[in-house]
Structure 1
Amino acid sequence: MTEAPFTYQADAFKVAIDCIVFGFDQNELKLLLIHRNFEPAQGNWSLMGGFLSINESLSDGAKRILYQLTGLQDIYLEQVYVFGDVDRDPVERVLSVCFYALIKIEDYDEALGNSHDAHWFPVQQRPELIFDHEQMIEAALSRLRRRAGYQPIGFELLPEKFTMMQLLNLYEAIYEREFDVGNFSKKILSLGILVKTNEKLRGESKKGSYLYSFDQASYDNVKEKGFRIIG
Structure 2
Amino acid sequence: MSENSLSSFSSHVDPATTPDNVIKALSIDNLIFGLDHGQLDILLIKHREGISAGRWALPGGWIRYDENLRDAASRHLLELTGVSDLYLEQLKTFGRVDRFPNERVVTVSYYALVSAEDYDLAAGHNAADACWFNVRALPELIYDHAEIIQYGIEQLQQNVRRRPIGFNLLPEKFTLLQLQELYESILGTKLDKPNFRRKIMKMGLLASCDEKQTGVAHRAAKLYRFDEQAYNTLMEKGFSFEI
Same fold per TM (> 0.5)?
A: yes
Matched, 1:99 2:110: yes
Q: 1:152 to 1:73 in 2, by over 3 A?
A: farther
Instruction: Give distance in 2, aligned partners of 1:64 and 1:138.
Output: 24
Q: How does 1:77-226 map to 2 (within 5 A)?
A: 77-110=88-121, 112-113=122-123, 116=127, 117-202=129-214, 203=216, 205-206=218-219, 208-224=220-236, 225-226=238-239
Q: 1:216 to 1:124 in 2, by over 3 A?
A: same
Cα deviation, 1:181-211, whole Å, max 9, x if unaligned, reads 11111111111111011110143742x1000
After TM superposition, give the deviation of residue 13 of structure 1 in Å: 4.6
Give 1:194's aligned amino acid: L
Q: Which residue of 2 aligns with 1:66?
A: 77
Is the Cα–Cα contact under 8 Å of residues 79 and 124 in structure 2 kept in the other structure?
A: no
Matched, 1:227 2:240: yes
The worse-fitting range, judged by mean Cα deviation, of 78-87 and 142-151 is 78-87
Give 1:172's aligned amino acid: E
Is the Cα–Cα contact under 8 Å of residues 80 and 124 in structure 2 kept in the other structure?
A: no
Is the Cα–Cα contact under 8 Å of residues 13 and 93 in structure 1 kept in the other structure?
A: no
Give 2:130's aligned amino acid: A
Q: Alignment RMSD, CA only?
A: 1.9
Q: 1:70 to 1:118 in 2, by over 3 A?
A: closer
SS of 2:29 mapped into structure 1: strand
Q: Which residue of 2 aligns with 1:25?
A: 36
Instruction: Give distance in 2, aligned partners of 1:105 and 1:124.
Output: 16
After TM superposition, give the deviation of residue 38 of structure 1 in Å: 2.7
Give 1:213's aligned amino acid: R
Q: TM-score, normalised by structure 2?
A: 0.83
Give 2:199's aligned amino acid: K
Cα deviation, 1:24-69, whole Å, max 9, x if unaligned, reads 1122101111111232222111111011111222222212222333
Q: Which residue of 2 aligns with 1:57?
A: 68
After TM superposition, give the deviation of residue 114 of structure 1 in Å: 7.5
After TM superposition, give the deviation of residue 102 of structure 1 in Å: 1.3
Q: Which runs of 5+ in 1 are unaligned?
A: 1-11
Is the Cα–Cα contact under 8 Å of residues 27 and 170 in structure 1 kept in the other structure?
A: yes
Is the Cα–Cα contact under 8 Å of residues 78 and 99 in structure 1 kept in the other structure?
A: yes
SS of 2:136 mapped into structure 1: helix
Q: 1:70 to 1:190 in 2, by over 3 A?
A: farther
Is the Cα–Cα contact under 8 Å of residues 70 and 108 in structure 1 kept in the other structure?
A: no
SS of 1:162 mapped into structure 2: coil
State the percentage of identical aligned residues. 42
Cα deviation, 1:149-202, whole Å, max 9, x if unaligned, reads 111111111100000000000000000001111111111111111101111014
Cα deviation, 1:82-131, whole Å, max 9, x if unaligned, reads 11122221142211011122122122123x14884011111100011110
Is the Cα–Cα contact under 8 Å of residues 24 and 157 in structure 1 kept in the other structure?
A: yes
Is the Cα–Cα contact under 8 Å of residues 163 and 210 in structure 1 kept in the other structure?
A: yes
